[in-house]
Structure 1
Amino acid sequence: MLKLALLFLVISIVAGIFGFGGVSAASAGIAKILFFICIVVFVIFLVLGVMAGKAIF
């Protein structure tokens, strides 16, 4: 998912360079959403991993 966020970020930068403002803004918005979803999933799995580690011992 983080790869997709980086891909949309690159698309946004390239579209901005060539003057496609709408495409650039849309790609940047998608990249931002994917990045925050990735961060939330990471935090959830981190908490679950810590809780599972404590349950074993």
Structure 2
Amino acid sequence: MVILGLILLIIGLVAHIPVLTTIGVILLIVGLILNLVPMGGTRRRVY
């Protein structure tokens, strides 16, 4: 998702299409958040 957002952001900036730039930024931010937040309850157990 991060790579797709980055590609759309670059295409939007080069082609001067603001819709692609906006979608690219949103996908980039969401992808980074999903990579940083652990999903599915994977926590480290300390014994």
The structure with the larger Rg is: 1
Where in structure 2 are there 5+ consecutive unaligned residues? none
- The TM-score with structure 2 as length reference comes to 0.67
How many pairs does the alignment contain? 46
Contact 2:8-2:21 within 8 A present in 1 as well: yes
Q: Could you tell me the percent identity over the aligned residues?
A: 9
Bigger share in helix: 1
Distance in 1 separating the partners of 2:36 and 2:9: 20
- Normalising by structure 1, we get a TM-score of 0.60
Q: Which residue of structure 2 aligns with residue 37 of structure 1?
A: 34
Q: CA deviation at 1:20?
A: 0.5
Kindly provide the amino acid, as one letter, of the partner of residue 31 in structure 1: L
Q: Measure the CA separation in 1 of the matches of 2:32 and 2:5.
A: 10
1:8 Cα offset (Å): 1.4
Structure 1's consecutive aligned runs of 4 or more residues displaced over 3 angstroms after TM superposition are: none
Distance in 2, Cα, partners of 1:12 & 1:22: 9
Structural RMSD (CA) = 2.0
